[in-house]
Amino acid sequence: MPAREVSGVSGGITTIVLAAALAIGAVTAEPASAAGRQAQMQIRPTSGPAGTQIDVRAKGVPVAPCSRYLDFVDSGGAVTFLEALPNTQEFRTKATIPGNAAPGPGQVRIENLFEYPPRCIHPFPVLEASTSFTVTG
Protein backbone atom coordinates (compact mmCIF):
# COMPACT_ATOMS: atom_id res chain seq x y z
CA MET A 1 0.00 0.00 0.00
CA PRO A 2 1.53 3.37 -0.97
CA ALA A 3 2.27 5.88 1.77
CA ARG A 4 -0.19 8.75 2.08
CA GLU A 5 0.62 12.02 3.73
CA VAL A 6 -1.99 13.15 6.20
CA SER A 7 -1.99 16.62 7.66
CA GLY A 8 -3.97 18.42 10.30
CA VAL A 9 -5.37 17.30 13.63
CA SER A 10 -7.24 14.25 12.35
CA GLY A 11 -4.01 12.96 10.71
CA GLY A 12 -2.20 13.24 14.04
CA ILE A 13 -5.01 11.42 15.81
CA THR A 14 -4.99 8.68 13.15
CA THR A 15 -1.25 8.24 13.61
CA ILE A 16 -1.63 8.02 17.40
CA VAL A 17 -4.49 5.50 17.15
CA LEU A 18 -2.56 3.33 14.67
CA ALA A 19 0.59 3.45 16.81
CA ALA A 20 -1.43 2.48 19.91
CA ALA A 21 -3.12 -0.38 18.04
CA LEU A 22 0.25 -1.71 16.92
CA ALA A 23 1.63 -1.40 20.44
CA ILE A 24 -1.15 -3.55 21.94
CA GLY A 25 -1.19 -6.01 19.04
CA ALA A 26 -4.64 -5.08 17.73
CA VAL A 27 -3.33 -4.68 14.17
CA THR A 28 -1.52 -7.56 12.52
CA ALA A 29 -0.34 -8.39 9.03
CA GLU A 30 -1.87 -11.41 7.37
CA PRO A 31 0.25 -14.51 6.89
CA ALA A 32 1.58 -15.37 3.45
CA SER A 33 -1.05 -18.07 2.85
CA ALA A 34 -3.90 -15.65 3.59
CA ALA A 35 -2.49 -13.14 1.09
CA GLY A 36 -2.52 -15.75 -1.69
CA ARG A 37 1.19 -16.62 -1.53
CA GLN A 38 2.14 -20.18 -0.75
CA ALA A 39 5.37 -20.54 1.18
CA GLN A 40 6.58 -24.13 1.30
CA MET A 41 8.68 -25.58 4.09
CA GLN A 42 10.13 -29.04 4.57
CA ILE A 43 12.22 -30.54 7.37
CA ARG A 44 14.10 -33.83 7.67
CA PRO A 45 13.76 -35.73 9.91
CA THR A 46 10.23 -34.99 11.14
CA SER A 47 10.70 -36.65 14.52
CA GLY A 48 13.45 -37.52 16.98
CA PRO A 49 14.68 -36.87 20.49
CA ALA A 50 15.38 -33.40 21.85
CA GLY A 51 18.72 -32.23 20.43
CA THR A 52 18.07 -33.67 16.95
CA GLN A 53 19.63 -31.74 14.07
CA ILE A 54 17.15 -30.98 11.28
CA ASP A 55 17.62 -29.95 7.66
CA VAL A 56 15.22 -27.13 6.72
CA ARG A 57 14.27 -26.22 3.15
CA ALA A 58 11.93 -23.42 2.18
CA LYS A 59 10.77 -21.75 -1.02
CA GLY A 60 8.23 -19.13 -1.95
CA VAL A 61 8.75 -17.27 1.34
CA PRO A 62 8.01 -13.54 1.01
CA VAL A 63 11.03 -11.30 1.59
CA ALA A 64 10.84 -9.68 5.03
CA PRO A 65 11.20 -5.92 5.38
CA CYS A 66 13.03 -6.26 8.71
CA SER A 67 14.40 -9.78 9.23
CA ARG A 68 13.45 -13.44 9.40
CA TYR A 69 14.02 -16.23 11.91
CA LEU A 70 13.36 -19.88 12.60
CA ASP A 71 11.88 -21.00 15.91
CA PHE A 72 10.49 -24.12 17.55
CA VAL A 73 7.34 -24.44 19.66
CA ASP A 74 7.30 -27.61 21.75
CA SER A 75 4.23 -29.52 22.97
CA GLY A 76 4.28 -27.51 26.21
CA GLY A 77 4.07 -24.22 24.30
CA ALA A 78 7.68 -23.15 24.97
CA VAL A 79 9.03 -21.09 22.05
CA THR A 80 12.77 -21.30 21.32
CA PHE A 81 14.66 -19.16 18.79
CA LEU A 82 16.70 -21.47 16.56
CA GLU A 83 18.47 -19.10 14.17
CA ALA A 84 18.31 -16.03 11.95
CA LEU A 85 17.47 -16.90 8.35
CA PRO A 86 18.54 -15.40 5.02
CA ASN A 87 16.11 -12.85 3.64
CA THR A 88 15.55 -14.68 0.36
CA GLN A 89 12.54 -16.45 -1.12
CA GLU A 90 14.35 -19.79 -1.11
CA PHE A 91 16.90 -21.19 1.33
CA ARG A 92 18.25 -24.30 3.02
CA THR A 93 19.74 -24.45 6.52
CA LYS A 94 20.35 -26.75 9.47
CA ALA A 95 19.05 -26.21 12.99
CA THR A 96 18.89 -28.17 16.24
CA ILE A 97 15.72 -28.95 18.16
CA PRO A 98 16.27 -27.65 21.73
CA GLY A 99 17.74 -30.16 24.17
CA ASN A 100 15.06 -29.27 26.73
CA ALA A 101 12.09 -29.56 24.32
CA ALA A 102 9.03 -31.25 25.84
CA PRO A 103 8.17 -34.63 24.29
CA GLY A 104 5.25 -34.67 21.85
CA PRO A 105 4.14 -32.77 18.75
CA GLY A 106 5.82 -29.42 18.09
CA GLN A 107 6.13 -26.86 15.30
CA VAL A 108 9.15 -25.52 13.42
CA ARG A 109 8.21 -22.03 12.16
CA ILE A 110 9.52 -19.37 9.82
CA GLU A 111 8.55 -15.88 10.93
CA ASN A 112 9.16 -12.57 9.17
CA LEU A 113 9.40 -9.37 11.19
CA PHE A 114 7.35 -6.39 10.04
CA GLU A 115 6.73 -2.89 11.32
CA TYR A 116 4.64 0.10 10.29
CA PRO A 117 6.32 2.33 9.30
CA PRO A 118 9.10 -0.02 8.20
CA ARG A 119 12.03 1.19 10.30
CA CYS A 120 12.37 -2.13 12.14
CA ILE A 121 12.65 -0.56 15.61
CA HIS A 122 9.60 -2.34 17.12
CA PRO A 123 8.85 -5.18 14.70
CA PHE A 124 6.08 -7.73 15.11
CA PRO A 125 6.31 -11.34 13.83
CA VAL A 126 4.20 -12.75 11.00
CA LEU A 127 4.08 -16.52 10.59
CA GLU A 128 5.03 -17.40 7.01
CA ALA A 129 5.35 -21.20 7.17
CA SER A 130 5.39 -24.03 9.69
CA THR A 131 5.68 -27.78 9.80
CA SER A 132 5.46 -30.46 12.46
CA PHE A 133 8.31 -32.07 14.37
CA THR A 134 7.56 -34.67 17.03
CA VAL A 135 9.95 -34.85 19.97
CA THR A 136 10.29 -38.49 21.02
CA GLY A 137 11.47 -40.01 24.27
pLDDT of res. 36 = 55
Whether the predicted model's global pTM rises above the 0.85 cut: no
The stretch 60-87 carries a mean pLDDT of 94
Which is higher by pLDDT, 129 or 23? 129
pLDDT of res. 58 = 97
The stretch 79-83 carries a mean pLDDT of 97
Reported residue count of the chain is 137
83: confidence class by pLDDT, cuts 50, 70, 90: very high
pLDDT of res. 124 = 87
Across-strand partners of 34? Answer: none
- Fold classification of 30-136 (topology level): Immunoglobulin-like (2.60.40)
Which are the contacts of 78, defined by CB distance < 8 A and separation ≥ 6? 98, 100, 101, 102
Q: What are the pLDDT digits (tens) for 90-136?
A: 999 999 999 999 999 999 999 998 877 767 888 889 999 999 999 99
Distance CA 91, CA 85 (A): 8
CB 72 within 8 A of CB 109: yes
What's the mean per-residue pLDDT of the chain? 80
